[in-house]
Amino acid sequence: MVMRLEKVVPFGRSLDEYIKMFDLSQSDFQSKILGVGDGPASFNAEATQLGYHVTSIDPIYQFTGAEIFARFQEVVDGIIEQVRQTPNDWVWKYHKSPEDLRQNRVQAIEKFLKDYDLAKQIGRYKLEELPKLSFADKEYDLALCSHFLLLYSDFYDYQFHLNSILEMMRVATEVRIFPLLTLMLQRSPHLNPLIAELTQLGYTVEIKPVAYQLQKGGHEMLVVKRNGNKE
């Protein structure tokens, strides 16, 4: 599992963003949650403080907190400048401005870093990478994939997406993926074929609106569940 840190954009989201991106309810938080591709999100740290059971996985966890933060500092200003240069691509409702977005990302990674080193030792942050995970069948109740699958459709092909979702469905009973857009603000070309094939395989698949939007048009998640007869 080899990742080059200079190829990574380590932006993380907060617990509140996860709640809105994935329409998380109090009953969801009573379950075992797997965060797939969490990166330097503060979701795990904040959820753990509230007594919830979250495990985060990402290949970036092969690096130290200091290395991840150094990479964040290298890229954050350039990313925010790109956002400023494309004002019509973004919805400034949750985040009020590019400067507010930057501050929110700084707050998220700071909370992550305070939690990361010790929590990594006890297994809340694990070095894992799709499309193959080491967990047991149905080890988790809910798997959340934020800003990876579908978003990077230009870099990962259809088969990778299908294999990754099936693997998440092996280890969890429900999968939620956000957003459904690519980096170019287009619906992922993999989305409809995935829905068709997963449905044919016996899963219940639906698109649900959520109360979060940053990319213009990016306010929906994909939900995949086992149906009543599927084991």
Backbone angles phi, psi at 35, to 5 degrees: -95, 115
| Beta-strand relationship, 140-146 and 32-36 | parallel
CB 39, CB 12: distance < 8 Å: yes
Q: How many Cβ atoms are within 10 Å of 126's Cβ, its own excluded?
A: 15
Backbone angles phi, psi at 23, to 5 degrees: 50, 50
* Domains defined for the chain, CATH in brackets: 12-226 (3.40.50.150)
Mean pLDDT to the nearest integer, 127-136: 97
In the sheet where 140-146 sits, what is the strand order? 125-126, 53-57, 32-36, 140-146, 172-178, 220-226, 203-209
Rounded CA separation 217/203 (Å): 26
Rounded CA separation 138/16 (Å): 26
Contacts of 164 (CB under 8 A, 6+ apart): 130, 131, 149
pTM above 0.85, yes or no: yes
DSSP 215: B
- Amino acid present at 90: W
pLDDT confidence of residue 196: 98
* Whether residue 3 has pLDDT greater than 60: no
pLDDT 10s digits, 11-55:
999 999 999 999 999 999 999 999 999 999 999 999 999 999 999
pLDDT 10s digits, 181-228:
999 999 999 999 999 999 999 999 999 999 999 999 999 999 999 885
pLDDT confidence of residue 227: 80
* Whether residue 1 has pLDDT greater than 50: no
CA dihedral sign, ordered 40, 159, 152, 94: negative
When pLDDT is cut at 50, 70 and 90, the band that residue 9 belongs to is confident
* Whether residue 69 has pLDDT greater than 90: yes
When pLDDT is cut at 50, 70 and 90, the band that residue 4 belongs to is low
pLDDT 10s digits, 132-188:
999 999 999 999 999 999 999 999 999 999 999 999 999 999 999 999 999 999 999
Identify which of 220, 226, 225, 228 has the alpha carbon closest to the alpha carbon of residue 191: 220
| pLDDT averaged over every residue in the chain | 94
- Amino acid present at 130: L
pLDDT confidence of residue 54: 98
DSSP 181: B
When pLDDT is cut at 50, 70 and 90, the band that residue 2 belongs to is very low
Rounded CA separation 128/184 (Å): 27
Contacts of 140 (CB under 8 A, 6+ apart): 31, 32, 33, 34, 55, 171, 172, 173
